[in-house]
Structure 1
Amino acid sequence: MISKLAYVHPDAKLGANVTVEPFACIAGDVVIGDGCWIGPGAVIHDGARIGKGCKIHTAASIACLPQDLKFAGEVTTAEIGDYNDIREYVTISRGTASRGKTVVGDHNLIMAYVHIAHDDVVGNHCVIANRVSLAGEVEVGDWCVIGGHVAVHQWVRIGAHAMVQGGALVGKDIPPYVIVRNDTLRFAGINKIGLSRRGFTPQRIGEIHDACRILFQSGLNYLAGCEEVERQIPQSDDRDALLQFIRSSQRGIIKPYAADAEKA
């Protein structure tokens, strides 16, 4: 159902059973999949590619122009996957010449006032809480939880299954599986509850814990810690994902655990 009070450009491609509520605005270079709901006052700009079953709530803005002084009007996209719940006043910019597209995967909950900037890549099954701001070219892995009012610096990577406490200012890469403190941006343990909920066995969780204990609590620098993990922890996809993430970091990794963070 398309409300008579909404504007839908004749060139826009809408799938079956799409609902467009009053005062929504949909531009011409737009594709929206089956079963989507576009809420009152939402704006879907040129370059939006939205999968099926998504809910775009009141006054959200999808594929808006990048907030980047280098942007020169190039044709780019914002690609949103399936079954995302994008809440009120969320802004998702389209890409720039850097990557050409901003990407949000499937089954994400993106809460009110979140900003996802140009060329970001957000995985699947993430929860991004109210007023989180992701700067340009940030990468967020699958199953991440980012607490409210977190600000993430440009080019930062957040690994899969990580949890960031609300209010953190994130300027370094966050490895997979870990919890990060909001006051000192230090390792605060592994995301044991989240991993358990996602079907990780106690053995997998134990091996991840042992690897992180070496990396973040042994006093070794991270490169030496990676070598020690390879010596002590059996090879697995989880272990290798953690080590590859750390070794490929360009911005540096969060600080290790400290019993007295104020003194560290």
Structure 2
Amino acid sequence: MSMNIHPTAIIEDGAQLHESVTVGPYSIIESGAVIGEGCRIESCVRIFGATRMGAHNRVCHGVTLGSEPQDLTFTPDKARPLVIGDRNHFKENVNISCGIKSEEGSRIGHDNYWMAFSHAGHDCIVGDRNVFANTATLAGHVEVEDGVFLSGQVAVHQFCRIGSYAMVAGVTGVAQDVPPFALADGHRARMLGLNLVGLKRNGFNQEQRNRIKAVYRLVLRSGLRLAEALVRAEREYPGPETDHIVQFIQSSRRGLISFG
């Protein structure tokens, strides 16, 4: 095998590493862990046995993946997988817990960027191309869709959802769902408007941005009952962005953050 493993690293029997994986000094990879092609494991990393990792991920100094959940009911027999996709980048001292409550466990998609000390608790579901700034924190069971930006010291309450292409400003506590395409801020997050910078960066054209704006104006500022506003939004502003917003709101369990 052509793996480049530092002599101080500990690779337990039963860990499965692709031959192209590199492992830095003093890192530990437990039995049962699976590490895919081209992954780079740097120094003092701990990868627990419940972790299943795809290809070309970078795991920087001090990261812990698949660690014991911070849940008082946890016992080792309850551990469920942490499944990680491809091309994720975990900066220094990131911590991601394994699952405990659901058979699927904790799930991380592709191309996510986790800055230093960010954290995802047990049974979180994270999509693709999200950015988690320093110390951004997801409690258990949080769902993050795609293209989200969580700024520094954002704290997301358990069971909350963050819709696609939303941005949450720094030092914000999120206690309810943040709808897609929104910009949120506040001691308790509130919706200030649209995440226009993020929408432009992700290729949303003027027509799409206008549609999103019109839907939220109708839903949040028309004075209509929510159910009626959603029906009118689908009828008056048809398109995939509208469908996404309507589906997200209708499926919310914790309610949405306030507007303004």
The letter of the residue matching 2:120 is I
| Residue number in structure 2 paired with 1:175 | 179
> Is 1:95 aligned to 2:106, yes or no?
no
Q: Which consecutive unaligned segments of at least 5 residues does structure 2 have?
A: none
Aligned ranges 1:80-91 → 2 under 5 Å: 80-91=84-95
> Is 1:38 aligned to 2:38, yes or no?
no
What is the rounded CA distance, in whole Å, between the counterparts of 2:40 and 2:191 in structure 1? Answer: 39
TM-score (norm 1): 0.93
Is the contact made by 2:174 and 2:188 (CA closer than 8 Å) also made in structure 1? no
Q: Which consecutive unaligned segments of at least 5 residues does structure 1 have?
A: 258-264
The letter of the residue matching 1:102 is S
Aligned ranges 1:102-117 → 2 under 5 Å: 102-117=106-121
> Is 1:256 aligned to 2:240, yes or no?
no
Aligned ranges 1:232-243 → 2 under 5 Å: 232-233=236-237, 235-243=238-246
Once superposed, what is the RMSD of the aligned Cα atoms? 1.3
Closer, same or farther: CA 184–43 of 1 in aligned 2, 3 Å: closer
What is the rounded CA distance, in whole Å, between the counterparts of 1:103 and 1:119 in structure 2? Answer: 7
Deviation string, structure 1 residues 35-72 (Cα, Å, up to 9, x no partner):
11111100000111111111111110000011112323
| Residue number in structure 2 paired with 1:60 | 63
Closer, same or farther: CA 57–199 of 1 in aligned 2, 3 Å: same
> Is 1:124 aligned to 2:128, yes or no?
yes
State the SS of the aligned residue for 2:92: coil
The letter of the residue matching 1:237 is P
Which of 205, 212, 226 lines up with 2:230 in the alignment? Answer: 226
Is the contact made by 1:71 and 1:97 (CA closer than 8 Å) also made in structure 2? no
> Is 1:48 aligned to 2:51, yes or no?
yes
What is the rounded CA distance, in whole Å, between the counterparts of 2:93 and 2:217 in structure 1? Answer: 40
| Residue number in structure 1 paired with 2:212 | 208
> Is 1:247 aligned to 2:250, yes or no?
yes
* Deviation of the 1:217 alpha carbon: 2.9
Is the contact made by 1:59 and 1:89 (CA closer than 8 Å) also made in structure 2? yes
Deviating more after overlay: 74-83 vs 55-64: 74-83
The letter of the residue matching 1:227 is V
Deviation string, structure 1 residues 70-125 (Cα, Å, up to 9, x no partner):
32322411011100110111110000133441011100100111110000001100
Is the contact made by 1:24 and 1:40 (CA closer than 8 Å) also made in structure 2? yes
Which of 151, 156, 159 lines up with 1:152 in the alignment? Answer: 156
> Is 1:186 aligned to 2:193, yes or no?
no
TM-score (norm 2): 0.94
Question: Percent same amino acid at aligned positions?
Answer: 36
